[in-house]
Amino acid sequence: MSENYSESSIKVLEGLQAVRQRPGMYIGSTGVRGLHHLVYEVIDNSIDEAMAGYCKNISVILHVDGSVTVEDDGRGIPVGIHPTAKVSTLQVVLTVLHAGGKFDTNSYKTSGGLHGVGVSVVNALSESLTAVVQRDGGIFTQNFERGKPTGEVQRTGNSSKTGTKITFKPDGQIFETLELSYEILAKRFRELAYLNKGIKIKLIDERFDVSEEFHAEGGIPSFVKYINKTKNLIFDEPIYVKGESNNIIVELAIIYNDSYNENIYSYVNNIHTEEGGTHEAGFKAALTKAFNSYVTKNNLVKENNLSGEDIREGMSAVLSIKMTDPVFEGQTKTKLGSNNAKTAVESIVSPALQDYMEENGIIVKKILEKALQAYMAREAARKAKELTRRKSALERDSLPGKLADCHEKDPAKAEVFIVEGDSAGGSAKQGRNSDFQAILPLRGKILNVEKARLDKMLSSQEIRNMITAFGAGIGKDAFNPEKLRYHKIIIMTDADVDGAHIDTLLLTLFYRFMPELIFEGHVYIAMPPLYKAMPAKGKEQYLYDDKALEKYRKTHKGAFTLQRYKGLGEMDAEQLWETTLNPETRMLKQIEIEDARMASEVTELLMGTDVSPRRTFIYEHATEAELDV
């Protein structure tokens, strides 16, 4: 790769247009996810410099005023006059969509920010942005407001160092929230440190005076052990594979635990491919091929019915590939579509695993014993699934007895509320609009599916009721989203500890066994109010959280009484309709895959067999708890 990273390396494809008008096209949303995506876009540029071998240290600072600074010690964005744009290259990078070194393969062999929209979109969606570059013996600064430069690049000092520092303040005119989460950012930076061993990423939060440095010399084997820190492992050290085929670098770490779930965390150029893709398909094919070859060669398993799914039960794997010009399916880059990635991964992983198996027979035997148990459980689950299948959409008697169904036959217009308890269920049934709203009450907490195989899970009547009501089946082979009877599945529980517990268990169920519900945007959580403020004069007002109550107290002049709702059952049917059921006035939170994954991780942490991390979690979060008295 050429080290000549200069003004001519920056290729301009088109101008920056319509980003502020349609921000969701570029960053996914204007909510929490989109806000954090701004930080990811800036740090991705620094990571690209690290992957190219020019950056070792990155710092991210969350300032009290809501602005963010990302600084690296890379080569620094070029600042001279661009050969075709005839303005500073720094200005081109920050104001022109699809402008960047990622389009010049001599500058970057692999890159996460392949659409080239990153920092220019951040600039467009920021109230203000300041870029400070150190290179060519100088310090260069340029300021912007809502994507437009307020002046030209200025040389503001001398320096023998190199690097780029971007400080931006997300625009309140664009984003629904401006509150960045330390935990969400820390999770992403931890991933990046594991995926790029040797790099140091420091996160400093000046709002709460906390900081953390992420640095992982162990790379992805350390990553897969970290992911399994609360699990009981079948063997201690991960299986590790690394190789290169047709200019695609493949890294893989595998470990097995005693759970019944498989977890594959796949990445392409550091981008988390949540929906998998061709690289995952290549890995699964290689894994199955290697085991089948070993089993046949050693005549170990008499049954020839072990599937790839059986072999992957209890497996955790981190798969990271780095390649030029990956093809993603969809704007959000969550699924890889490059066929050459499948070929490369399979050609590297299959022989490497076969070599490992020849040298580690005891470990392979443990995995096969677990796979055999999975096969027997799968057969039991296949028979149990028949209990959940509806004979016909027209046979209403096949639906659960507790379900109060709606009249609407078009799933796109129908919604079902999963309600905690018969009391709230009664109010919800009276308060709903039965034309398009169905109600399914739950009796108590559902089974913790994080620790259950499919056959045991299907023995739960409450879970079977849900599956039958949804109408789409369950499990990888049987779930069919086209048969879904409601396109809005709304979890409606009390705003207390028990309600949060039920939310977590339900999201874990969907994440583990019906992830398509979440990927396709069908799952929501209702947000019932916590309070009703009743002033001596004026209109009553529902308040949905403590922040809203604090704001009401500051802005409302005069006396008022306050009613706190401890449960949905305390509301009559009319109040429940007005606050939580009516599409015109209610508040819903749409669940994204990260919400569900976090719920699953919390379930494992709080209900797993390892007591130590559970105790640590409770101590760390004790100040956030609210007594329900």
Mean pLDDT score of the chain, rounded to an integer? 84
Q: What pLDDT shows up at residue 250?
A: 97
- By DSSP bridging, strand 239-245 and strand 248-256 are antiparallel
The residue with tokens 């979690």 is 617
Q: How far is CA 614 from the centre of its chain?
A: 22
The two three-digit tokens of residue 68, written as one number: 């963010």
Q: Which residues are identified as catalytic? A: 420, 494, 496, 498
Q: How far is CA 142 from the centre of its chain?
A: 34
Q: What pLDDT shows up at residue 264?
A: 95
Which residues does the chain have with pLDDT short of 50? 1-2, 13-15, 102-116, 390-397, 609, 611-629
Q: What pLDDT shows up at residue 303?
A: 56
Determine whether 576 is exposed, middle or buried from the number of CB atoms within 10 Å of its CB (0-12, 13-18, 19+).
buried
The two three-digit tokens of residue 178, written as one number: 């401006």
Q: Closest Cα to residue 68, out of 169, 200, 214? A: 169
Q: At 70, which helix (H) or strand (E)?
A: strand 68-72
Determine whether 552 is exposed, middle or buried from the number of CB atoms within 10 Å of its CB (0-12, 13-18, 19+).
middle
What are the φ and ψ backbone dihedral angles of 185, each rounded to 5 degrees? -65, -40
Q: What pLDDT shows up at residue 121?
A: 93
